[in-house]
């Protein structure tokens, strides 16, 4: 059993896709991107599987289009498909023909959920024997997720994990130059803070200073509260938590708090989440309307789980309800559905229909799938996950393929940042020096 780089393959896969989306506009054939080959290939595979996951059996002609859309070369595609077959992620009928770019007659993706696709991506990444720098990329994104961290401390943490300091510094430079991570202009005791730009923006320094100014006991309590919020998204805070510390975390933006009121108006309850779960992993792909609806729906589900009465249709596990809603389009009937969810109904996230056979009991019907899918991901993986490739990208790529323009020709290649150009040029200089010394 491989040791996971993060708490799950899905989280690793999310960071892989997140990283690839940050670098895909560059010419990835540049030597500076060699250490990230496993990231690039794994992310391309996620872009291959994602649009096919609910199509059932895909024939060779269709598959070839999806392969080209994902940017996978025939040989590397054949190699990874064999690994995916061993992982039981796909079912393939091989043709055995040497004339085919990829010798198959059909393929079926056996993992149909987005979370499953990202889990496959993360597992594939680790099976491709990633370089030290590729692993460091994942570690750095994970270490900077919850709170900004001083650069020296980040380097020290990764050194204690067994990584060479020189490679840590090189990888960190790459991630900063490519805007995968950011650092503050202001320093804390001469040390810049490293943070995830999708989780923290202008408040990165304020967040760190707020936490760092606490005494050791208060600091540990703050970290315990943040871990509780991360592990239990959308639940009320425990009553034994220090309310002054909670207020401080809310004030500096490390905790979001919102209130739910039932249609009967008899119950009000505050629910909390960590703001970064709504954007850091998913690279802020979702609109503010979807995020607002998702937060509201999550809080309503938690209300139904923790405060609704059993006889009225209390929710035992929100994940099970969400999964059923996504798969079947409806759940119920229950009395609570008609009384405890006025806000999701008003926002058009779901509709509520009274049962004809059981008056006074109601069905909940799915209306906004993207909102419900977002809540499912937060419950399942503690964060909104990135979409490997969305419908608009697929339509654009299909149009490009229809005009017989290769992916290399249509790619809008960004110029390599100056610092990475210097790194590339130094390789050429080393080669020239080596030749003169022969």
Is the link from the previous residue into 291 a cis peptide, with omega within 30 of 0? no
Q: Among positive and negative, which fits the CA dihedral 319, 321, 322, 327?
A: positive
Residues with Cβ within 8 Å of residue 203, at least 6 apart in sequence: 252, 253
CB 81 within 8 A of CB 92: yes
pLDDT of residue 158: 94
Beta strand 256-261 pairing with 104-109: unpaired
CB 104 within 8 A of CB 63: yes
| 270 φ/ψ sector (left φ>0, alpha ψ -120 to 50, else beta) | beta
pLDDT in tens, the chain (438 residues): 456 777 789 889 989 988 998 888 888 888 889 999 999 999 999 989 988 888 889 998 889 888 888 888 988 899 999 999 999 999 999 987 766 788 899 999 998 788 888 899 999 999 999 999 999 999 999 888 777 888 898 999 999 999 999 999 999 999 999 888 888 876 666 778 888 877 776 566 667 777 777 788 888 888 888 888 877 788 888 888 888 888 878 777 777 777 766 555 556 677 777 776 666 565 555 566 777 788 888 888 887 787 776 666 677 888 888 888 888 888 878 887 877 777 788 778 888 888 888 888 888 888 888 888 888 888 777 666 667 666 666 656 555 554 433 344 334 466 777 777 777 666 655 555 544 444
CA dihedral 270, 274, 278, 283 (to 10 degrees): 170
> What 3-state DSSP class applies to 9?
helix
Q: Which CATH class is domain 137-212?
A: mainly alpha
From the list 230, 139, 145, the residue with the least C-alpha distance to 195 is 145
pLDDT of residue 397: 59
Residues with Cβ within 8 Å of residue 187, at least 6 apart in sequence: 193
DSSP 195-218: E-TTT-STTHHHHHHHHHTS-HHH
Listed by start position, the domains of the chain span 9-130+406-427, 137-212, 233-381
For 182, phi and psi rounded to 5 degrees? -130, 160
């Amino acid at each position: 059993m491989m040791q996971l780089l993060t708490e799950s393959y899905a989280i690793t896969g999310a960071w892989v896709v997140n990283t690839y989306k940050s670098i895909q506009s560059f010419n990835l054939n540049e030597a500076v991107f060699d250490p990230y080959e496993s990231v690039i290939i794994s992310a391309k595979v996620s872009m291959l599987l994602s649009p096919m996951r609910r199509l059932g059996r895909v024939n060779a002609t269709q598959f070839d289009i999806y392969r080209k859309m994902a940017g996978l070369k025939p040989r590397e595609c054949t190699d990874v498909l064999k690994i995916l077959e061993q992982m039981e992620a796909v079912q393939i009928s091989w043709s055995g023909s040497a004339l085919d770019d990829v010798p198959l007659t059909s393929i079926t993706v056996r993992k149909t959920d987005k979370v499953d696709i990202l889990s496959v991506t993360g597992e594939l990444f680790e099976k491709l024997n990633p370089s030290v720098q590729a692993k460091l990329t994942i570690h750095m994104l994970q270490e900077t997720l919850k709170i900004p961290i001083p650069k020296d401390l980040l380097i020290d943490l990764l050194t204690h994990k067994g990584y060479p300091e020189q490679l840590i510094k090189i990888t960190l430079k790459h991630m900063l130059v490519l805007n995968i991570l950011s650092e503050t202009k202001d320093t804390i005791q001469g040390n810049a803070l490293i943070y995830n730009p999708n989780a923290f923006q202008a408040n990165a320094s304020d967040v760190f200073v707020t936490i760092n100014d606490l005494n050791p006991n208060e600091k540990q309590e703050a970290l315990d509260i943040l871990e509780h919020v991360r592990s239990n998204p959308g639940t009320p805070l425990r009553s034994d938590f220090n309310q002054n510390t909670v207020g401080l975390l809310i004030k500096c933006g490390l905790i979001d708090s919102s209130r739910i009121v039932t249609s009967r108006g008899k119950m009000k309850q505050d629910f909390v989440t960590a703001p970064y779960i709504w954007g850091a992993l998913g690279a802020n792909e979702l609109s503010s309307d979807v995020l607002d609806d998702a937060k509201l729906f999550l809080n309503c589900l938690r209300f139904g789980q923790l405060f609704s009465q059993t006889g009225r249709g209390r929710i035992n596990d929100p994940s099970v309800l969400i999964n059923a809603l996504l798969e079947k389009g409806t759940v119920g009937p229950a009395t609570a559905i008609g009384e405890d969810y006025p806000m999701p109904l008003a926002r058009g996230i779901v509709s509520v229909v009274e049962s004809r056979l059981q008056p006074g009991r109601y069905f909940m019907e799915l209306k906004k799938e993207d909102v419900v899918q977002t809540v499912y991901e937060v419950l399942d993986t503690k964060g909104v996950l990135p979409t490997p490739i969305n419908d608009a990208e697929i339509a654009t790529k299909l149009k490009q393929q229809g005009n017989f323009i290769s992916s290399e020709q249509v790619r809008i290649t960004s110029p390599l940042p100056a610092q990475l150009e210097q790194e590339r040029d130094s390789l050429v200089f080393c080669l020239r020096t080596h030749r003169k010394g022969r």
